[in-house]
Amino acid sequence: MTGLASRSRPEVPAPGSVGPPRRPYTLGVSTATDLDPTARARDILGVSRLTNSALTGWLHGLPGVDQVGCEARAAALSTRSIKTTSKAWAIDTAISMIDLTTLEGADTPGKVRGLATRALVPDPSDLSTPSPAAVCVYGDMVPFAREVIGDRGVNIAAVATAFPSGRASRAVKLADTRDAVENGADEIDMVIDRGAFLAGDYLSVFREIAETKEACGDARLKVIMETGELVTYDNVRRASWLSMLAGGDFIKTSTGKISPAATLPVTLVMLEAVRDWRDATGEMVGVKPAGGIRTSKDAIKFLVTVSEVAGEDWLTNEWFRFGASSLLNDLVLQRQKMTTGAYSGADYVADDAPSGY
Amino acid sequence: MSARVDVRKTYKLYIGGKFPRSESGRSYEVMAAPSGRRATPRFLANAAMGSRKDARDAVVAARKAQPGWAGATAYNRGQVLYRVAEVMEGRRAQLVQDVRDSEGLTPARAEAVVSAAIDRWVWYAGWSDKYAQVLGGLNPVAGPYFDISAPEPTGVVAVLAPQASSLLGLVSVVAPVVVSGNTCVVLASEDRPLPAIDLAECLATSDVPGGVVNVVTGRTAEVAPWLASHRDVNAIDLTGAAGADGVEWGDLELAAADNLKRVLRPGGSGTEAVEPDFEATPDLGRMTAFLETKTVWHPKGR
């Protein structure tokens, strides 16, 4: 019982101790790195050689997603009323799950330093405000974030592999990843090749993820599926399983550059995938919705869904993240409202609008 | 032949250019002012009973609209506000009826009040491109500088509308706030909210951008403290504290002090709040209360 139980919040009972009995599985963090991913995939698929047709057969053998049911469930879960102490807990938890993000062509070292400073002190008027889990920047900006953050507990995530389009040769993508890791990134957010995925070349996507994972070394790998471009929930489910099979530590909805980005139904499908993956293999994989989550209300809906679909084990920033930039401000405003009892306003949080300088 | 079924009007809030119901789902009965020999109060309408969250939404809408409204040219603001007076004139019959019912006036008296209200709106609209010349200026300074003072809007203003004068009073407190580029959240008269909704309909059908004026109807004592303590509100007009049930304007001023809001105290002396006489021609006081003075020093070549 290493890993998971000690990583969960203390009040969460160990999995299996409450609720209906689950299938037995061995607990532990992702073991994907310990094993050649291709060998492991062969094992899981039960084939002697990993071919595209084997992958296709496996992925298309997954049950289809009931679109209407999925959207109805997401809508039902977003009607929960979360108030008072639960709300306070949810706000703090949501803040601690944020990957505070700036991914603009106009990012300057100054802006990245500012963002990193915000991550360390999200609300200067209330130092009890928790820090976000990470800052998320382009690979070349990692050193500037590191300058500010040092080793003070906030991770630095870098996007890599020709983010956001993913349109570059494998060699360039891997070099991009290694460069970000050498710059000191703790986490890598890669994009999958949606073109290859949609064309049915799953093996190429698999290899790319596996090789990127290898290039990451100790850094955790988040696999961005860009669900807005995958068109159907069935594809989202397949991309999730494919990413987990190839060794991703996190599956992430979107780059934030495409609309629709992180919708609740898409995240629900992904949460089902990580839940079923743990039942099947015993490994936990994280989920990161990114893009379009701007208000505390939205964030709380996601937390409810995490708890209901995947389970409480995922309610920590080790296994669930929000990719967001303006969400932090809204959460801080709500937090101020709860502590001071008066509605707060934009004058009392950092102005993170692009400055134009 | 059967009698036609009445088409009854639902009186709602006016927030961000839309007419939503209260998020709380509540409403309250509005009764006509007693007049003549009727003993029992006559039912007028159900008005939305706004909550603190409606006020919060209204402040968000006002904040969003503020830069655009303040950035419009003074000439344009004047035109837009004059257009409101035109629409009010077009809806005169409705305004007269609601003022009559709400305040218990005779038809002739109600006509006169509506005329005065429209004229008051025009009077303030005319100030939009004039107050800066009157209140600003070129200051003589002992140095090689141009020194220019110019009035600028304060920002988002919460307005407690007068409780008794439901239209003339309302216009007299709202127009001076918005003419200079402020946006406002108006808490309508508790017992006489209908003319405020009429005015909102006039605003919605003129060219005033959504969010510049937001109207919340409901219990003054319930909503006012939230506006007074709201840190994203820059100023508060406490005129409507006079005659409101369970409202101590001193407490509101205290709450407003938390973020150094500008406070326009209600009329009267001491702790007793008295509603002013809105018939009299106003001075610039209600405009200057919600203006900041920006002074610029500009070097003058030799």
Question: Who contacts A28 (Cβ-Cβ below 8 Å, separation ≥6)?
Answer: A2, A3, A4, A282, A283
Render A228-277 in DSSP notation, one character per residue. HHH-SHHHHHHHHHHHHHTT-SEEE---SSSSS-S-HHHHHHHHHHHHHH
The answer to pTM > 0.95 is: no
Smallest Cβ distance to B226: which of A343, A346, A347?
Answer: A343
Question: Who contacts B187 (Cβ-Cβ below 8 Å, separation ≥6)?
Answer: B50, B55, B158, B159, B160, B161, B216, B218, B220, B223, B224, B227, B240
The residue among B2 and B142 whose pLDDT is bigger is B142
Residue A331 is predicted with a pLDDT of: 97
Q: Which residue is catalytic, options A111, A173, A222, A252?
A: A252
Residue A235 is predicted with a pLDDT of: 97
**B232 and A343: CB-CB below 8 Å?**
yes
The residue among A267, A302, A323 whose CA lies nearest residue A65 is A267
Q: What share of chain B is helix, strand, coil (3-state, %, to 5)?
A: 40, 20, 40
Task: For residue B232, list chain A residues with Cβ-Cβ distance below 8 A.
Answer: 343-347
Q: Which residue is catalytic, options A189, A193, A313, A330?
A: A189
Give the gap in angstroms from C-alpha A90 to the nearest C-alpha of chain B.
20
- Provide the CATH number for the domain around residue B159: 3.40.605.10
Smallest Cβ distance to B56: which of A340, A341, A343?
Answer: A343
Query: A334, A343, A349: which to substitute to probe chain B, counting the most B Cβ within 10 Å?
Result: A343
Residue A34 is predicted with a pLDDT of: 55
A173 is catalytic: no
Q: What are the structural domain ranges in chain A?
A: 34-61+82-339
**A344 and B229: CB-CB below 8 Å?**
no
SS (HEC) of B174-208: HHHHHCCCCEEEEECCCCCCHHHHHHHHHHHCCCC
B22 is a domain residue: no
* CB proximity under 8 Å: B 32-91 to A: 56, 59, 63
**A346 and B229: CB-CB below 8 Å?**
no
B39 is a domain residue: no
Give the gap in angstroms from C-alpha B21 to the nearest C-alpha of chain A.
19
**A348 and B231: CB-CB below 8 Å?**
yes
Residue A353 is predicted with a pLDDT of: 60
Residue A3 is predicted with a pLDDT of: 41
Task: For residue A344, list chain B residues with Cβ-Cβ distance below 8 A.
Answer: 231-232
Model confidence pLDDT, tens digit, residues B181-196 = 999 999 999 999 999 9
Q: How many domains does chain B have?
A: 1
Instruction: State the burial class of residue B73 (Cβ atoms within 10 Å of its Cβ: 0-12, 13-18, 19+).
Output: exposed
Residue keyed to tokens 């009299």: B280
Give the gap in angstroms from C-alpha A127 to the nearest C-alpha of chain B.
19
Per-residue pLDDT of chain A (357 residues; tens, 9 = 90+): 444 444 444 444 444 444 444 444 444 444 444 568 999 999 999 999 999 999 999 999 999 999 999 999 999 999 999 999 999 999 999 999 999 999 999 999 999 999 999 999 999 999 999 999 999 999 999 999 999 999 999 999 999 999 999 999 999 999 999 999 999 999 999 999 999 999 999 999 999 999 999 999 999 999 999 999 999 999 999 999 999 999 999 999 999 999 899 999 999 999 999 999 999 999 999 999 999 999 999 999 999 999 999 999 999 999 999 999 999 999 999 999 999 999 999 999 987 665 444
pLDDT classification of B1: cutoffs 50, 70, 90: low
Q: Which CATH number fits domain A34-61+82-339: 3.30.930.10, 3.20.20.70, 3.90.226.10, 3.50.50.60?
A: 3.20.20.70
Model confidence pLDDT, tens digit, residues B198-222 = 999 999 999 999 999 999 999 999 9
B301, pLDDT greater than 90: no
pLDDT classification of B84: cutoffs 50, 70, 90: very high
Q: Is beta strand A98-101 parallel, antiparallel or unpaired with respect to A286-288?
A: unpaired
**B230 and A342: CB-CB below 8 Å?**
yes
Q: Which domain holds residue B197?
A: 48-299
Give the gap in angstroms from C-alpha B238 to the nearest C-alpha of chain A.
18
Task: For residue B233, list chain A residues with Cβ-Cβ distance below 8 A.
Answer: 345
B7 is a domain residue: no
Render A126-162 in DSSP notation, one character per residue. -TTSPPPSEEEEEGGGHHHHHHHHTTSS-EEEEEESS
Give me the interface pTM, i.e. the ipTM.
Answer: 0.88
B165 is a domain residue: yes
A83 is catalytic: no
**A342 and B258: CB-CB below 8 Å?**
yes
**B63 and A341: CB-CB below 8 Å?**
no
